[in-house]
Amino acid sequence: MRYPEGHKQQVRARIVATTAEAIRQEGIDGPSIPTLMERAGLTHGGFYAHFRDRDELIAAAVTAAADQTAERAFADDRTLEDVLDAYLSPGHVADPSAGCVVASLGTDAPRQSASVRAGFVAAAKGILTMLERKLHPQRPDPGFHDDALVHASTMIGAVVLARLVEDPSLRDRILTSAREHLAG
């Protein structure tokens, strides 16, 4: 049976999207290839028609998750205040499967393969670049300025910390204090 043009790319994209959600929820080592393929509505046997190995899939999923965060939280039409409100929100903390991959899995990255680490490096630099543009849209220097580094570190750290505490009141205080500090 012949599939329509673009079918293979669509199937690959579905596998990557399913994996991006699953690893943010369950961790990089959590879901197996058979489980991921089943969630994507496919058989385990079809995996190797799309990926060389699990690391290639995980790297693609990290990139897809970072792209999703860029579209949702850092869209061009959003102000810095909008970004802070979206990123430092209870909803982002409550749903890691749809949130920032760096906040969800960044601490696992150093223990991964080079290809997966490269995906995380690109995701982290992407956050810095997007914050740099929000903070200094007219600056011609493509480097990362200290305020972008502080914003990224505070935002990511606040989400990680808020996910660790069980007290909803403390969780809200962490998010609010980070947002207020960064909004200056």
Number of neighbours of residue 137 by Cβ within 10 angstroms: 8
Q: What is the pLDDT of residue 103?
A: 96
Q: What is the pLDDT along the chain (184 residues), one digit of tens a residue?
A: 566 677 678 888 999 999 999 999 999 998 899 999 888 887 777 788 788 999 999 999 999 999 999 998 898 899 999 999 999 999 999 999 899 999 999 999 999 999 999 999 999 999 999 999 999 988 776 688 999 999 999 999 999 999 999 999 999 999 999 999 999 7
Taking the C-alpha atoms of residue 112 and residue 130, their distance in angstroms, rounded to an integer, is: 25
Residue from 158, 160, 161 nearest 181 by CA: 158
- Mark out the alpha helices in the chain (DSSP H runs): 7-26, 33-39, 54-73, 80-87, 90-94, 101-105, 114-135, 146-164, 168-183
* The pLDDT value given to residue 1: 57
Which tokens go with 125? 């630099």
Q: List domains and CATH numbers for the chain.
A: 55-183 (1.10.357.10)
pLDDT at 44: 75
Token match 């300025």: residue?
145
Residue 3, pLDDT score: 65
